[in-house]
Structure 1
Amino acid sequence: MAEREQPVGPGAGYLALLRGQARSQASYRASFAVDLVSNVGATVFDVVTVLVLFQVTRILGGFDVREAMVMVGLSACSFATADLAVGNIERVRHYVRTGLMDAVLVRPLRPLPQLLLMDLPLRKLSRAAFGLAVLVVALAAADIDWTPGRVVLVLVAPLAGTVFFGSIFVASATLAFWWIDSGEVGNAFTYGGRDFTSYPVTVYGGWFRAIFAYGLGFAFVAYHPALALLGRADPLGLPGWVGWAAPGVAGLAAVGAAAAWRSGIRHYRSTGS
């Protein structure tokens, strides 16, 4: 009597998607190598832009170049890692427009992990590695007084920033379930948020800082963790413990993004094609 075939769990399905993507993207080695190199460019440009500003001023928003580069490093590392892990969720607009979302939903796998693994941009590994390198160099140059608490923070803050940016990617992509051509709106919060967090929030003012830095939480990606690492008092007058609030803010962002995604999936209507 033939043995029954053992059922394959969802973990094996996700792993198969990941392996398929890795094989397909690495099959053309020269092209993949070029992609790895070219993808570093965006992060390099972000770093160079900040350094150019310090060619015309010694202080930016109350911070010198070494202090500002810690913020740049935290921002670059967090954003690049989030972009690698979940940045391709932006393609959900294409799936909704063409009806391919139907095929995603009928599979016995959760739709969000499927979408992330179906086009995982491994070429962005170089960007994530460069972002981490910028952070390491900036921390070394800043001459930080390392304590056990700061060692923990320097490990936790980039992870929290990655979760925060990943949540922004997912939440902004969810707009496609209501408004397919929402790409530019989403980019204002993802790539715009990356640019915002690359500078001390003290360079911004009025309602703009209130909304983006604290209303949406971008100040907790790099600015406040950097203050805690540097041992600097906040020029805006907030207490020192705020620098340790990044994991909590990231957790709230993840909860909000998950709720928005579930609502979007329920709202989706099949094209019937």
Structure 2
Amino acid sequence: MAERRGGTLTAYRALLGAQARSQTAYRASFAIDLVGNLGATLFDVVTVLVIFGVTRELGGFTLREALLMVGLSAFAFATADLLVGNIERIPRYVRTGLLDAVLLRPLGALPQLLLMDLPLRKVSRALFGLTVWIVAVASADLHWTPGRVLLVVLAPVAGAVFFGSVFVATATVSFFWIESGELANSVTYGGRDFTSYPVTVYGGWFRALFAYGLGFAFVSYQPALALLGRADPLGLPSWAGWAAPGVALLAAAAAAVAWRFGIRHYRSTGS
């Protein structure tokens, strides 16, 4: 058993090594890709700064408070996109028959798919998101307690796990509906945009669906409230902000169930 596990890990390392070598073979091109990939995350932060250029508060939150949310969202999404985001290529794999070849190998299908096209160029986004998060925490003038120190570390990890779970769960729709890419993007990238702002700026059914129906409020909004020691203007109890890691674990469990269901019911396209 130990020997088999060691062989599996060696195979995964070989896949990762092959990707690293192929993507960094042309160093100048890779460096340009690293810089170019900062755009999306940088734009999210700049947008918030521009908004606060014309207002002192957004949804009842100051710039420093809002930066906690955008920093947490930026790092969590960028990390998930780096590690799991390429799973959104599933429709192409199903259409071309590549998924069939993956399923024939004596390795887990999901790890293979994640390692086959791991976009190392996106590491710059994750590092930039981490920088924004550190700056936001340092400038927020938090009242430090052991619990808040722990939450500062766990909240970004929980957010990345949550976004990664959303990537996987929405990708499984492709097993039954190949042209589901736009639907998946509306949830994943729409969730990124949603979590970049206080949920109090949204209203009605839209806020209810994304914030609590899908759980996106627990990515950045609720953890930020817990760190700031603020009561939720929407009325949720104070412990909700500390529930973010638990929500992320529930999301991961749901994504695992969805993935297994999709794999078991997958039917080859015959390509």
- Which of 166, 190, 193 aligns to 1:192? It is 190
RMSD: 1.0
Q: Partner of 1:219: helix, strand, or coil? A: helix
- Which of 152, 155, 158 aligns to 1:154? It is 152
Counting matched residue pairs gives: 268
Mapping for residues 11-26 of structure 1, pairs under 5 Å: 11-26=9-24
TM superposition score normalised by structure 1: 0.96
Is 1:105 matched with 2:103?
Answer: yes
Mapping for residues 79-94 of structure 1, pairs under 5 Å: 79-94=77-92
Q: Give the CA deviation at 1:272.
A: 3.4
- Could you list the runs of 4 or more consecutive aligned residues of structure 1 that deviate by over 4 angstroms after TM superposition? none
1:230 maps to which residue?
228
1:127 maps to which residue?
125
More off after superposition, 262-271 vs 20-29: 262-271
The code of the aligned residue for 1:25 comes to Q
Is 1:250 matched with 2:248?
Answer: yes
2:167 maps to which residue?
169
Q: Partner of 2:13: helix, strand, or coil? A: helix
1:3 maps to which residue?
none
- Which of 55, 68, 85 aligns to 1:70? It is 68
Mapping for residues 51-70 of structure 1, pairs under 5 Å: 51-70=49-68
- Which of 196, 199, 222 aligns to 1:201? It is 199
Long gaps (5+) in structure 2: none
Separation of aligned partners in 2, 1:98 and 1:194: 29
Q: Partner of 2:59: helix, strand, or coil? A: coil
* Cα-to-partner distance string for 1:49-71 (whole Å, 9 max, x where unaligned): 11111111111000000000000
More off after superposition, 140-149 vs 217-226: 140-149
Separation of aligned partners in 2, 1:249 and 1:149: 17
2:37 maps to which residue?
39
Separation of aligned partners in 1, 2:197 and 2:245: 20
Long gaps (5+) in structure 1: 1-5
Separation of aligned partners in 2, 1:98 and 1:233: 51
* Cα-to-partner distance string for 1:107-164 (whole Å, 9 max, x where unaligned): 0000000000000000000000000000001111111111111000000000100000
TM superposition score normalised by structure 2: 0.97
Q: Give the CA deviation at 1:270.
A: 2.0
Is 1:137 matched with 2:135?
Answer: yes
Q: Partner of 1:9: helix, strand, or coil? A: helix
Q: Partner of 1:232: helix, strand, or coil? A: coil
Separation of aligned partners in 1, 2:112 and 2:139: 41
Separation of aligned partners in 1, 2:185 and 2:88: 9
